[in-house]
Structure 1
Amino acid sequence: MTPQLQQAIKLLQLSSLDLQTEIQQAIENNPMLEIDDTHQEQENPADNDQAQPGENPDMEYTQYLDQSPAEIELGMSWQRGNINRSQASSDLPTDFPDASRSLKDHLQWQLDISSFSPEDHIIASAIIDSLDEYGYLTVDINDLHRDLTSGLLKKEDQDVTVDEVMAVLHMVQHLDPPGIGAIDLQDCLRLQLEQLSTADNERTALAYEIVCHHFDALSQKNYNEIAHRLNLEPITIHESVELIRALNPRPGTSVIREPTEYVVPDVIVQKIGGKWHVFLNNDISPQLSVNQHYASLIRRADDSRDNQFLKNNLQEARWFIKSLSNRNETLLKVANIIMERQQEFLEHGEEFMKPLVLRDIADAVDMHESTISRVTTQKYMHTPRGVFEFKYFFSSHVGTADGGECSSTAIRAMIKKLVGDEDMKKPLSDNKIAQMLEQKGIKVARRTVAKYREGLLIPPSNERRLRA
């Protein structure tokens, strides 16, 4: 594979943000490349059979593209648990620290603006330093006391008791986030319940009772045993258990935030004059051209080092422009096919999504499936219904009663709508949902409904009834 074709494949796989970086680096490294500010805005590609930016990819380019490595995997995102609080401390200022700070930074910031005595401040700092990433205290309080009295507090010529260290720990446990400074899971849940609003006092009080005195049965999900011990109806126990489940077992992770990831659409879909059209987002892929001033300095018969440098850069600039043009054209081809196949989704929403697989697009644009996979990874489409990754529009199919096909995405949307419209006192079972879908001509098994429901993070009907 030639370096030029490797470059073409690389550009095809890049996300919009990575492409911008690549273009900027190419311009900085190659004096022959420049942004063509005089280039007029690209014509509407929907009005043309071929995209405008440049030449069609030749057969060699397509063959090499199909042989390139598999697509780059997308990174995972953190999922953070949290707990809603109806009241915030009036003692804390509104200018909270940078979200990118660590848990210990967040706690130390609160400590620095609180009214701790100098001695308590030292103890609290030591406690904060002894927390793990989840917010749990990792040392025994007696060991912490010994380290303090033989170290920091000894230098300050101060002496404290274990009870005084414990008192400061209790103060730290009232910092944000709730549950911080706990010694174990039971302690963590107890601390969070203590800080909950008393608006639902009976439910909260029962949850507190369960955590403090029946944690063994709670851990084993033996709710009937708890109901028997407390002489209460199981439904009452379940209501408080649901409150406990809403707590965060790892409170420290609610502070650790991943840097915001921005998505810039590669193409824009608009409805103009009653027809849907696809446009390239020219902001991420500016029109490049060869710097004519430097090109004019090249002398054909000159083999000097400077002249050879200019020749090499001219060739690289032309290849880069061609590769970028081919990338844009391929993107437009794929986006146009997706738009044509999914017009009903654009018009009416998820329930009208059509089945679509990589081979459908590959056959339509005469490319290999692996090429389409690379084109649709980390590429985004801006539509009136939101911004979606190209891959969002692909889904498997389920047969319908009339011999047709229905997209699995559409079925998920139908399930979500059926559950959203159900009687909260009589939630729909998976069997009932399957029957209702069959009435619409879509035959799916109960286990398939359960799989889709779980994928939508919708609990089973018995839990939905309890929550109602």
Structure 2
Amino acid sequence: MKPSLQVRLSQHLALTPQLQQSIRLLQLSTLELHQEVEQMLEANPFLEVDEEAPNAYELSSTPLAERSTAAERSDEPWDGPGSSGSEAEPEPAGADTMEFGATEREDWENGTEREDFDGIGETPMSASASSGPAPEGDELDPGERNTVAPSLQEHLREQLLGMRLSPEDRAAVMVLIESLNEDGYLADPLEDIATALAGGEPDPEDPDACAAHEEARELLLDRLRCALRWLHSLEPCGVGARDLAECLVLQLRQKPRSEAQVIAILVAKHHLELLARRDTRKLTAATGADEALLREAQALIRSCEPKPGRPFTKAEANIVVPDVIVQKVGRGWKVVLNPDVMPKLRINDLYAQALRQHRGGRGGGGGGEGAPALSARLQEARWFMKNILQRFDTIQRVSQAIVERQKNFFSHGAIAMKPLVLREIADELGLHESTISRVTTAKYMATPYGTFELKYFFGSSLNTEAGGNASSTAVRALIKQLVAAEDPGKPLSDSQISQMLEEQGIQVARRTVAKYREALKIAPANLRKAL
């Protein structure tokens, strides 16, 4: 083959480093953003924390473009990327704090990426979501939240100090306490714990060593069995159980003696599977009790705690910090940024001024070999601050658009949610669907009904007999209401729920009802039936 040269013309989309950074920051969660800020503070000497930054509520009340009018009037020189200092460009005024902005919004989309997302938010990511607005003044005291509660092991060790035990028994109980999992169950069998305490396996060819090892293991196992009984006597009742049946039996034995208690212990020991299936006929045959006595036994079992260590688990990890807060303003609703999640950054004035003086003192010679690199780091710091500010501005704009579309939710709850897809918000704000998807992922909104992920407010459309549309989120809320109001003795099946929804003008298939019911973590009808 003869070699040849060819010239081709082509077009392709190239993302600048600044745009790449802005897209990456937009999709980060609050925790990931703070980690990114910490890394930038360590890597860039021109960036520092601004303890005197203005309140985020004040910043959020002013549009981003209005916060940058001073940038058009600035004539302070600064170096661009790779600049030698011979040509000066205008430096945005106020760029050394988080107040600065841009006269034109950045194009956040790359024009090629499209994410497939139908806009359905399955469940709110909040434990505080309820059927009504949260009462005022019901917030946790920061002092109470930061109080370190004792762990389950610490609670048990304190009780052990008041018991008169031999050093060997005390050490055995301590070993079992350290073997508990977070639910209060014994994580390892006693045989495995005894084997681990007895040491490594002896030489199989040495019968004396094997016999001594087995004897030591049996002694340790007897000691651990005795220690387990001591552990079972501690509070909370049921701690140290090896399975659910043993945990329930330990607690039922503390109940007042009655016929129902005897039946409850029998069911907990041998027939928990039948109780879970609500199989009254087989339970009656297995226990010899009538339905009334079985109901009393079931009530006793339900009063027990299946996870004794639950009160001692750390709940701080489940707290969701909202990115935006919805406030009632007159007859409408307003979205403000949460000041607790906004980083407070500024440019180090001392370093920036030293760089300007060093650069100017050289008479346009570039300020030495390191001046271009330092100028690039200074611009990197400014771009980082600008991209963070634009990130929060975009989150606020998207959140406000969502609130405007879902006004009925903030007045009447999830049952009044309207159908909403990403395309509607994207068209309204002039952004790409992928941008809206990034904004609504791992970003949370505090509302009168709890804290929800922004994706929760998007729901697919279901047809109604009147020719309108109903949101899938509203249908899920309606299903939850129907199940809550059902007769426990005759729970509603998926087909019956589908028929009831159709009577209200909402056309939902049985399989769709089952899908929504599972998303709400509601058990099937046979498992919801009361004895």
Counterpart selection for 2:466 from 402, 405, 410: 402
Verify: 1:58 aligned to 2:106, yes or no. Answer: yes
Residue 6 of structure 1 deviates from its aligned partner by 3.1
TM-score (norm 1): 0.75
Distance 1:122 1:458 in 2: 45
Counterpart selection for 1:26 from 37, 40, 52: 40
Computing the radius of gyration from Cα coordinates, the structure with the larger value is 2
Where does structure 2 lack aligned partners over 5 or more consecutive residues? 1-14, 68-99, 118-124, 128-146, 200-211
Counterpart selection for 2:422 from 334, 358, 372: 358
Residue 345 of structure 1 deviates from its aligned partner by 0.6
Bigger shift: 452-461 or 165-174? 452-461
Residue 353 of structure 1 deviates from its aligned partner by 0.7
Matches within 5 A, 1:1-400: 1-27=15-41, 29-33=43-47, 35=50, 37=52, 52=67, 54-55=101-102, 56-59=104-107, 61-63=108-110, 66=113, 101=151, 107-128=156-177, 134-136=185-187, 138-140=189-191, 147=198, 166-195=225-254, 197-198=255-256, 201-212=258-269, 224-234=281-291, 236-237=293-294, 240=297, 244=301, 255=312, 257=314, 259-285=316-342, 288-296=345-353, 297-298=355-356, 299=359, 300-400=364-464
Cα offsets for 1:330-383 (capped at 9, x unmatched): 212211211111111112211111112222222322333222221111212222
Where does structure 1 lack aligned partners over 5 or more consecutive residues? 71-76, 80-96
Q: Indicate the structure whose relative CO is greater, using CA pairs within 8 Å and at least 6 residues apart.
A: 2
Q: 1:86 maps to which residue?
A: none
Residue 223 of structure 1 deviates from its aligned partner by 5.1
Superposed CA RMSD in Å reads 4.3
Structure 2 vs 1, CA of residues 392 and 404 (structure 1 numbering), >3 Å: closer, same or farther? same
TM-score (norm 2): 0.67
One-letter amino acid of the counterpart of residue 20, structure 2: Q
Distance 1:451 1:58 in 2: 40
Bigger shift: 227-236 or 211-220? 211-220
Distance 2:196 2:21 in 1: 61
Aligned residue for 2:110, secondary structure, equals helix
Structure 2 vs 1, CA of residues 16 and 121 (structure 1 numbering), >3 Å: closer, same or farther? same
Structure 2 vs 1, CA of residues 262 and 19 (structure 1 numbering), >3 Å: closer, same or farther? farther
Contact 1:127 1:137 (C-alpha < 8 Å) held by counterparts:
no
Distance 2:51 2:179 in 1: 57
Cα offsets for 1:4-36 (capped at 9, x unmatched): 333212321222344344335534543433539
Contact 1:99 1:256 (C-alpha < 8 Å) held by counterparts:
no
Distance 1:186 1:135 in 2: 13
Identity among equivalent positions (%) equals 42
Distance 1:104 1:377 in 2: 37
Contact 1:141 1:165 (C-alpha < 8 Å) held by counterparts:
no
Aligned residue for 2:109, secondary structure, equals helix
Bigger shift: 274-283 or 254-263? 254-263
